Structure 1
């Protein structure tokens, strides 16, 4: 078997770069006259139609660790191990640990480190390969195979990992056993079903073809080449060259399926007879009298006939090749713009992220419109990077010709996914699978970016709730464990689709993983409230208030939320008042607590709550609040007594206290807006530029307002800022020709 395991070396990003023996003879020829260097492979994916694309939604698990066979662990292992465990998001700590274990050549330490690392970073296919080699060198062949299977479950899109697995089997199985070739063929079929449609899957197809040739299965090799011809890949042209070489180097009857061979043989014989019938009559008279044309032995075909059959085969395949070349050309610049198709913790630059988005936009557009064929221009950087020698416009694929598909069985266990997806005689149809493949490839390089996971889940949700749920599960339980936004989206997704139990579980797990996030506790309370479990929502907020007493700001925040729930939904103002009063004992300097308590009292019966309102104002004025906040509370107290006071004496008394406060703070007045609840919104500048005036009816003023001469200007804006409201220039069109000073003549000059 010539399937030689490639030479491996570590790159700077911790991934393994592999060049197989087969790559040395492959020539990169872009479509038409385009020339560019494409990024290295890291795999896309496609699976059988009945299975979702991507890894198994269930969390994968590594083989259990074996007993310590080498005694004590290396000296520095515990130190490096603790550093990695204390900060599992620090990728450098993990690579230091793995490098140390590799240097020490300690099987148990390496196994332990790799197992824990790959649970957190399963997309690092290079470390899966290292793990396999570690077990193989230790003589644990079965464990090496288990690791390979687990790695392919975590990242089924990696062509490199599939080739590594196949090479492991080729190097360890006894090929003299009848079941060994069947097992190898099944693995090949699984590999092309999972990664065969990736743009960089050429090595996998070539390895499969060469293996079938070595097994003497020429018809199987032809069937595989036929499938490869229909897949847009980077080295698409080499498959056609190898097909021609394969066909010309063997008898057509040995490489074509029986049905296609008989059909073409009959067609070519008919063509030969027609050609002979058209020959001049005198050519037949040159034979001696009585001598007839020599008869061809029954079942024997001439070389001329064989050549005609080859020509017919290539004529049909050439149409497929031309159509496939058009598909490659349309994707070329997009692929060329992708510089890092593998996973790494280092951030991607904006150009790379934009390139992925542009590629996805284009692929989805191809799906949604059969007639639309936009030019492949992901961004200017992609065009500059590819630098084609001459501009090429994407062409519309030609209609596939009607040919007889090869049906030779190659003993797969599962259905041959690619064969099922192929349109008759042409390249794989442009449908939803292409979009999914691209999303899966994107989520290798962009696994740490929520935007792509969200986009993929939203795309799948339109077709299958279960597939969208699997995407959320992969994102939140493997790659984005410490990014709450994705978990919150997952919970909202489950609630939207009626699975409240799962929505609760997602939020509870997130709060356990990232304790102390207020938005998570509020989402949990909101979920219970929407589910009609108001007592559970209240209990969650009570727990939050109790647990946050050591953090005054957070305690005040939760207290306000709980008080609002008790007041607005539970209709229990006494409990809401008690919550705010207790919070003020812990945070007397929190103006938001004071303001919410004041609003609670103001919202009650105005005649019954007058004393409580005045008490709130007095408490706020005595608290260690900022001067402008105290002025706001004084203004609100004045507003209340102005609107609901029982006597003019009470109004004037509060007004005088307010004037004293203004004088105490040097006239640093802050005018309150009617109806505002947030004190930050109540504190506006004196010019009133940010104050929204109420809508007033257009009523002409027949009596001019009282004169402003001789009045205290502070009194004009002492309460409510009415003067500033009506001094806005935009009110000129409403007929207010002069200032309507509401307070003028009502309060005496101070």
Structure 2
């Protein structure tokens, strides 16, 4: 709420034409009052970019990232600043040279300090950039396939490959089916995940397929996969029920044979919350902060893999 108040105040001043006052508000808020908060720095950077100072906009985020690393949105925004600057400064009709943007993405992906899921997140962004901005679908596909060698059980990468094939300018049924089959044949995906891809393939064959035999064959596979999942669930439930009955009988036996001559010492229950580490608390606070700001993707991650809060629900 405090951070939001500063941002609204600065934006109001900017809207009424008080640019220097707005800049001073952003400077005081980010430098003195909220030095560790990413949103005020993002807003300050956007303000400078809006007024044509791309260099300062980038420097604000670079300095914040140096002092408080761990926010994926910060380097991502810096890439965006660089991309927009190149687009704006390129003469009309000419093709921008995005080599620096691509290099920036590749450094983020290949950085040993980048968690696996976050590297996948950046790879998805880079693949989308190649497919949509540069119209290089082959390179986009290669980036996604390379990412799969590092993150073998990423459902998002398979979805991106399927979408890439599905959205091709010239429709290719076999390319879409190959992308779907690559997910179904992956040994690292669970049966439940494969069932979702199987349903996608079934829908595709029903809506756009040209071979009824492929549809019938996949329908058999889909039905068998459903039965396998249901069978495992039923078996697990029976085992759980059996263990529950066994524990109940054991408790009754202990109660019947209890020696009430022995004094019973009741243990005092301790109601407390286990202390969390500073890193966990910081990650939780950052996640809560982004939730309050309406950001559905949790961009914050910590340098400790166990405390990682990266949550990628990215749709390609």
Q: TM-score, normalised by structure 2?
A: 0.63
Residue 622 of structure 1 corresponds to 186
Structure 2 distance, partners of 1:503, 1:536, is: 17
Superposition RMSD on alpha carbons, in Å?
2.9
| CA 1:663–1:606: 2 relative to 1, 3 Å | farther
Paired residue for 1:512, among 49, 61, 66? 66
CA offset digits 1:260-313 (Å, max 9, x no partner): xxxxxxxxxxxxxxxxxxxxxxxxxxxxxxxxxxxxxxxxxxxxxxxxxxxxxx
Structure 2 distance, partners of 1:606, 1:644, is: 14
CA offset digits 1:83-142 (Å, max 9, x no partner): xxxxxxxxxxxxxxxxxxxxxxxxxxxxxxxxxxxxxxxxxxxxxxxxxxxxxxxxxxxx
Structure 1 distance, partners of 2:17, 2:157, is: 48
Residue 739 of structure 1 corresponds to none
Residue 296 of structure 2 corresponds to none
Secondary structure, in 3 states, of the residue corresponding to 1:665? helix
Contact 1:560 1:596 in 2 (8 A): yes
Paired residue for 2:11, among 454, 458, 477? 458
Secondary structure, in 3 states, of the residue corresponding to 1:619? helix
- Counting only pairs closer than 5 Å after superposition, residues 389-400 of structure 1 correspond to structure 2 as none
- Counting only pairs closer than 5 Å after superposition, residues 602-681 of structure 1 correspond to structure 2 as 602-604=166-168, 608=172, 610-611=174-175, 613-666=177-230
- Higher helix content, 1 or 2: 2
Structure 2 distance, partners of 1:622, 1:610, is: 18
Structure 1 distance, partners of 2:170, 2:52, is: 43
Structure 2 distance, partners of 1:645, 1:636, is: 12
Indicate whether 1:571 and 2:135 are aligned.
yes
Cα drift, residue 609 of structure 1: 5.2
Cα drift, residue 494 of structure 1: 1.0
| CA 1:592–1:549: 2 relative to 1, 3 Å | farther
Structure 1 distance, partners of 2:205, 2:212, is: 9
Paired residue for 1:496, among 50, 62, 67? 50
CA offset digits 1:373-410 (Å, max 9, x no partner): xxxxxxxxxxxxxxxxxxxxxxxxxxxxxxxxxxxxxx
Q: TM-score, normalised by structure 1?
A: 0.28
Indicate whether 1:530 and 2:84 are aligned.
yes
| CA 1:541–1:613: 2 relative to 1, 3 Å | farther
Secondary structure, in 3 states, of the residue corresponding to 2:230? coil
Cα drift, residue 527 of structure 1: 2.0
Contact 2:123 2:144 in 1 (8 A): yes
Residue 594 of structure 1 corresponds to 158
Paired residue for 1:584, among 136, 140, 148? 148
Structure 2 distance, partners of 1:535, 1:456, is: 38
Q: Larger relative CO (CA 8 A, sep 6+): 1 or 2?
A: 2
| CA 1:662–1:605: 2 relative to 1, 3 Å | farther
Secondary structure, in 3 states, of the residue corresponding to 1:622? coil
| CA 1:589–1:499: 2 relative to 1, 3 Å | same
Indicate whether 1:554 and 2:118 are aligned.
yes
| CA 1:632–1:492: 2 relative to 1, 3 Å | same
Contact 1:602 1:640 in 2 (8 A): no
The size of the alignment, in residue pairs, is 226
Structure 2 distance, partners of 1:506, 1:680, is: 28
Residue 266 of structure 2 corresponds to none
- Counting only pairs closer than 5 Å after superposition, residues 256-267 of structure 1 correspond to structure 2 as none
Contact 1:638 1:651 in 2 (8 A): yes
Secondary structure, in 3 states, of the residue corresponding to 2:103? helix
- Counting only pairs closer than 5 Å after superposition, residues 148-159 of structure 1 correspond to structure 2 as none
Cα drift, residue 481 of structure 1: 2.0
Moved over 6 A (4+): 679-682
Structure 1 distance, partners of 2:313, 2:13, is: 43
Paired residue for 2:104, among 526, 540, 546? 540
Contact 2:173 2:209 in 1 (8 A): no
| CA 1:564–1:620: 2 relative to 1, 3 Å | farther
Contact 1:480 1:486 in 2 (8 A): yes
Q: Larger radius of gyration, structure 1 or 2?
A: 1
Cα drift, residue 530 of structure 1: 2.7
Cα drift, residue 656 of structure 1: 1.8
Residue 470 of structure 1 corresponds to 24
Contact 1:563 1:575 in 2 (8 A): yes
Cα drift, residue 641 of structure 1: 2.7
CA offset digits 1:43-94 (Å, max 9, x no partner): xxxxxxxxxxxxxxxxxxxxxxxxxxxxxxxxxxxxxxxxxxxxxxxxxxxx
Structure 1 distance, partners of 2:113, 2:176, is: 26
Contact 1:457 1:472 in 2 (8 A): yes
Cα drift, residue 589 of structure 1: 1.2
CA offset digits 1:308-357 (Å, max 9, x no partner): xxxxxxxxxxxxxxxxxxxxxxxxxxxxxxxxxxxxxxxxxxxxx9xxxx
Structure 1 spans left out of the alignment, 5+ residues: 1-352, 354-448, 669-678, 683-750
Cα drift, residue 483 of structure 1: 1.0
Structure 2 distance, partners of 1:622, 1:549, is: 27
Cα drift, residue 605 of structure 1: 5.9
Structure 2 distance, partners of 1:550, 1:473, is: 30
Structure 2 distance, partners of 1:524, 1:550, is: 16
